[in-house]
Structure 1
Amino acid sequence: MCNLIMEEKGLNITSCINNYVENVRSSLKIRWNKWDKNLIEHSTYEVIGGILARQCSLAIQLSTNLQMWNEEIAPIILRTMADNHINLAWILVNPKEHSEKFIIHGLGQLKLDLEHRKNNLDETMKGEIEEYIEREEQFINSQKYTFLTEVNLGSWSGLNTRKMAEEAGIIDFYNYVYQPFSNCTHSTWAHISKYNTDLSKNPLHKFFRHPIIIDFEPHINYLNLAGKYLDKSMREFDRVFKLNINEDSAFDILLKELNELSSEKNN
């Protein structure tokens, strides 16, 4: 349960957020249960189901943490959601082949990490690290034997993110969401100059920029964006697999409840 109060609006949105979280969990469960599965090709279902679960988890974490609703933190989460949505959309173009690529690359990355750790064992923590390595190898082997796992140092899809978005027909999403939020994620000057520096008020300093730390106020728009991106992923999944989902989306219900709460406050 969360307790969220939007001070600038005088609104306690706790019940709206708690309902949203429950509706998100329910929407994932409904889709998973309605999705006809072929257990012989289980990788497709594991990957797509896992990506949807991560999208739900990210939306829940952002929605229940008011202190993240600002220009410094929210774009990092939203950029991850954008990345996740592009991955999903591209995988849905060819679910079986693209899901297998996703798994092979992921397990390969785990194996690469293990090899690095084996080659750099700290003698003072050798026992603890060896236990960790053994657990990770067991996890990899539960899906695919370690010696068969490929290591791919490039993009898991063989394409850059922009090309994936183009092939999935969502290049506008890439241009207007993924790319702008990347500035915050990668701490580029485009972000830092706006939110971590300010012009000196002394005219003798010749417009010298000095470092600042902003005390951000939460903006509910970031909650709206997280809900919107999750809703996009759910709708894309429903479109491809032609699921008959009769329930209102968690996002639509959230918007309705927030609008009703705002109307009550103004009356």
Structure 2
Amino acid sequence: MKNINEKIQHILNLYVEDIQFELKERWNSWEKDLNTPEIYEVVGGILARQITITEHLLSCSSLWNGHMAPMVLRSLADNYINLAWILEDPLERSRKFIFFGLGQEKLQIAHQKKELKSSGNLEENKVYIEAMENWINSQRYVFLTEVNLSKWSEISVRKMAEEAGCIDFYNYVYQPFSVNAHNMWNHIAKYNLIESSNPLHKNFRRPGKFSTDADFHYVDLACKYVNKMFSLYDLKIGFSSNRLYPYKKLHNAINKLSKEFSNDEEE
């Protein structure tokens, strides 16, 4: 039998092609009003972001473990909650999303100018700084762009999830994976400390790292969150198709491969 890992990667490659196709289909079928481009750019960008993150996770099996995958999955969860909240009031919240991002870019430029000036390198980096400012100007004049040091939505992620009707997703996905992303004790103690086997050490823990094999469960979760994003878009925008969702096709292919592998082992 062909190497099982090669077969799994082939299935994942087909899945990636599927989600790219589904994104293109949704984008091309969406009737757009160019008087309010913010809605389409923000929603389209968030969808593309979900797919991009997932593609990179799927292409690197060394990330399919409890050390790295939760950080990626937390980002996917955050991205989903953003879209869910934005779609409750698309125009106003898309603009809020954009303006906050532009403000953060303006703040970054200010910090870089200060650092470059103090190091005497401002002049030689002038073209780079101007390019960053022109990027902002192409959307909103720099001098009109406000810097907001609060949250882009002006409320907590939990509140966003509540208002968007996805508080369960926040509780069961976003919050648990945040423990990993923020390097909190209840992740570090489990994954980066090893308890001494000597009873005289009183359960003292030493630095270490649990070695973990690649776990396909993390891949399944990432694909599940892409599916969740497509389902949300389809419901809110009104897209429909007779095709199976890529997530369902992926499951069918993995189940078929699993049966083939089991039969080969029995022979």
TM-score, normalised relative to structure 1: 0.94
SS in 2 for 1:214: coil
CA distance in 2, matches of 1:86, 1:23: 23
Q: For residues 246 and 127 of structure 1, do their structure 2 counterparts lie closer, same or farther at Cα, with a shift above 3 Å needed?
A: farther
Letter in 2 for 1:18: N
CA distance in 1, matches of 2:51, 2:139: 24
Letter in 2 for 1:78: L
The answer (yes or no) to whether the contact 2:194–2:208 under 8 Å persists in 1 is yes
User: Can you give the 5+ residue segments of structure 2 that lack an aligned partner in the other structure?
Assistant: none
Partner of 2:233: 237
Of 44, 54, 60 in structure 2, the residue corresponding to residue 59 of structure 1 is 54
Partner of 1:31: 26
Partner of 2:16: 21
Letter in 2 for 1:56: I
Letter in 1 for 2:125: I
Query: For residues 149-160 of structure 1, what are the structure 2 equivalents within 5 Å?
Result: 149-160=145-156
Cα deviation, residue 5, structure 1: 5.2
Q: What is the count of residue pairs matched by the alignment? A: 260
SS in 2 for 1:13: helix
Instruction: Give the % identical residues.
Output: 48
Cα deviation, residue 45, structure 1: 0.3
SS in 2 for 1:39: coil
Cα deviation, residue 131, structure 1: 2.5
Partner of 2:212: 216
Partner of 1:264: 260
CA distance in 1, matches of 2:46, 2:182: 23
CA distance in 2, matches of 1:212, 1:33: 50
After superposing the two structures, state which structure 1 stretch, 87-96 or 238-247, moved more. 238-247
Partner of 1:118: 113
SS in 2 for 1:114: helix
SS in 1 for 2:194: strand
Cα deviation, residue 127, structure 1: 4.3
1:247 corresponds to 2:243: yes
1:43 corresponds to 2:6: no
Query: For residues 89-128 of structure 1, what are the structure 2 equivalents within 5 Å?
Result: 89-121=84-116, 123=119, 125-128=121-124
Cα deviation, residue 221, structure 1: 0.2
Q: For residues 128 and 225 of structure 1, do their structure 2 counterparts lie closer, same or farther at Cα, with a shift above 3 Å needed?
A: farther
- RMSD between aligned residues: 1.4
CA distance in 2, matches of 1:232, 1:196: 32
